[in-house]
Amino acid sequence: MNQYLEELNNQQEIKHLEIEELRKYAEINKVPIIKRDSLVLIESILKGRKVKRILEIGTAIGYFSICMATHFKDISIDTIERNEEMITIAKSNIKKFNLNDRINLIEGDAVELNDELFKNNKYDMIFIDAAKAQYQKFFEKYTKYLNDDGIIFTDNIIFHNLVEEDSNKLSKNLKSLVKKIDNYNHYLNTLTDFETYFIESGDGLAITYKKHD
Ligand code: SAH
Ligand code: MG
């Protein structure tokens, strides 16, 4: 993010020094948390909407959830994580911020979780930010729990700008991953009941709305 803009946005966040500590921890330990400009964009979009319930797929250390719960005082979040180490760190962070009553950490693989867990849930916003190769699966499984006027954000849709690169330059694994992200982006565009905007923010952000007719 542009340094000047980052500092301007940051001045507000300095109020939350502990949140800055989380970002630093993520940077040092190479935990891929959301880029600051995408976070600011999401916050600014949610500001004008009646958002009460969020579902996040991919908690990591809890950074995004904690930001949302701190910024919006009346929302609650369900967030899914499968990695044991991340779960331990996220739990401790959520506790440290006193957000146990508003952030519900669901342990398990988001692709495999039992639908019974969600059947009575309706979310106003879904944040897709776990394994990039599984984006379409997450979308298909969880958008049925989205309110009609809900919104879906998908992070990392340009994946370090590799999605637009000549894929022959990439290793086999990376090539396959990048192909999957590219497929997902085009998949979003094929949906007739959803409308997606692809934004060059952070590592690329897709903003998807349910269509109304
Ligand atoms: N949303 C976080 C960052 C998430 S990083 C933030 O911005 O603060 C992605 C996380 O998704 C990793 O911790 C990884 O363990 C988790 N993950 C990947 N695939 C998953 C899956 N299928 N189910 C649950 N968690 C998954
Ligand atoms: Mg991400």
Which ligand is the nearest neighbour of the Cα of 63? Answer: 1
Q: What is the largest CA-CA distance in the chain?
A: 48
Who lines ligand 1 at CB under 6 A? Answer: 32-34, 56, 58, 60, 63-64, 80-83, 86, 109-111, 129-131, 134
User: To the nearest whole number, what is the mean pLDDT of the chain?
Assistant: 93
Residue 107, helix vs strand vs coil: strand
How far is ligand 1, taken at its centre, from the CA of residue 31, in Å?
10
What would the mean pLDDT of 123-148 be, rounded to a whole number?
Answer: 97
Nearest CA to ligand 1 atom 25: 81
Rounded to two decimals, the pTM is 0.95
Residue 195, helix vs strand vs coil: strand
Per-residue pLDDT of 186-199, as tens digits, reads 999 999 999 999 99
What would the mean pLDDT of 29-51 be, rounded to a whole number?
Answer: 95
